Amino acid sequence: MRILAIETSCDETAVAIIENGNTVLSNIVSSQINIHKAFGGVIPEVASRIHVENISYVLEEALRKADLTIDAIDAFAITQGPGLIGSLHVGLIAAKTLAWYYQKPLIPIHHITGHIYANRFVETLQYPMLALVVSGGHTELVYLKEEFDFQVLGSTQDDAVGEAYDKVARVMGLPYPGGPEIDKLAKLGKAHYRLPKVKTSNPLDFSFSGLKSAVLQTIQRNKDDLNKADLAYAFQEAALNELIEKTRSALDTYVVKHFVLAGGVAANSRLRERVLELKKYYPELTITIPPMWCCTDNAAMIGAVAEVAYRHGIRGNLDISADPGLEYS
Ligand code: KG4
Ligand code: ZN
């Protein structure tokens, strides 16, 4: 089965063609990052306008790279939410038009399920599975007792971890997006600044806003002799301790065969190390981290989950709309 998947939930215009759920025939991502960089973050109105300009070209390029015509496509998958309403809308209209014109099924997808199923490109997923979702908009522990069955065990009470990386980078005067910048800078730092440990009432929830305030206070207190590398190191260690501790609590509480990492922050080099270290404590557990090309937003991951969604009977009518706050189905 060949699925053409479209992803426009934030600032990447992306189209991919995926065969049988895990073979990538093409995967085109047109990033707007250089435009948004000038503003220090994504400007939603600008993002949706650029999606309108780019979507047809990205679609043509995906077909050209796969050396296919649209008649060879069996279904169209689209990110329905969560994300920026204007951005989601552009992809949804494109997918609906294609599905209607070519009379093929439309498969609406929850963006985060795409991040989770990106791990299909590495190995066959086993259940029960636990996913640590770490992106710019989400930080969650998601339990899949069975295939395509999503239960949120814990989520962030305030900022998402990617958002915390980006905000901390901004107050440290680093360019947008801040995640990769802090990742690089932290490698040059050492344990020097102490940042507080976070407390949440649900042991599987996360919180990052206190950490962000503590970074700001450290900057203000050390105005003249701030060591940015040491601060990046302290922030990163504190943020990743929070992620790993909560993950371990979930692994100790639930029956889990397979653990996967998911979302843009999965590109973080230190987090990838820390996740692989879990093997020491859980030798029976299969641990998968997504390939670097599939961590930040792309449409291949949407195609990967869409094949599963299709088997589970998920179809979209032509009256579905973009949903910025979409829940797991
Ligand atoms: O999944 P994603 O592309 O977008 C959402 O679905 O939200 O994730 C983007 C986030 C940004 O906050 C970015 O700073 C973060 O992923 N990120 C990183 C790294 N690469 C991207 N954070 C930490 N370390 C990285 N190497
Ligand atoms: Zn994402």
Q: What are the tens digits of pLDDT across the range 19-28?
A: 999 999 999 9
Query: Looking at residue 233, what is its pLDDT?
Result: 98
Query: Looking at residue 37, what is its pLDDT?
Result: 85
Question: What average pLDDT does range 231-253 have in this prediction?
Answer: 98
Query: Looking at residue 296, what is its pLDDT?
Result: 94
pLDDT interval class at 122 (50, 70, 90): very high
pLDDT digits (tens, 9 = 90+) for 160-211: 999 999 999 999 999 989 999 999 999 999 999 999 988 899 999 999 999 9
Ligand 1 centroid distance, CA of 201 (Å): 26
List Cα–Cα distances, 137 to 9, 253, 264, in angstroms.
11, 26, 10
All residues with CB under 5 Å from ion ligand 2: 135, 297
Share the mean pLDDT of the chain. Answer: 96
| DSSP assignment letter at 327 | P
Query: Looking at residue 302, what is its pLDDT?
Result: 98
> What six digits make up the tokens of 129?
């599975």
Query: Looking at residue 21, what is its pLDDT?
Result: 98
Q: What's the pTM value of the predicted model, to 2 decimals?
A: 0.96
Question: What average pLDDT does range 105-112 have in this prediction?
Answer: 98
Q: What's the chain's Rg over C-alpha atoms?
A: 20
Q: Which atom of ligand 1 is nearest to the CA of 169?
A: 14
Nearest residue (CA) to ligand 1, atom 23:
179
Query: Looking at residue 40, what is its pLDDT?
Result: 83
Which residues, 6 or more positions from 71, have their beta carbon under 8 angstroms from its beta carbon?
A: 102
| DSSP assignment letter at 156 | B
Query: Looking at residue 282, what is its pLDDT?
Result: 98
Q: Tokens 């049988």 map to which residue?
A: 20
> What six digits make up the tokens of 142?
């998601």
pLDDT interval class at 32 (50, 70, 90): confident
Query: Looking at residue 229, what is its pLDDT?
Result: 98
Q: Which atom of ligand 1 is nearest to the CA of 163?
A: 12
Neighbours of 21 (CB within 10 A): 18
pLDDT over threshold 80, residue 329: no
Q: 290 in ligand 1 pocket by Cβ < 6 Å? A: no
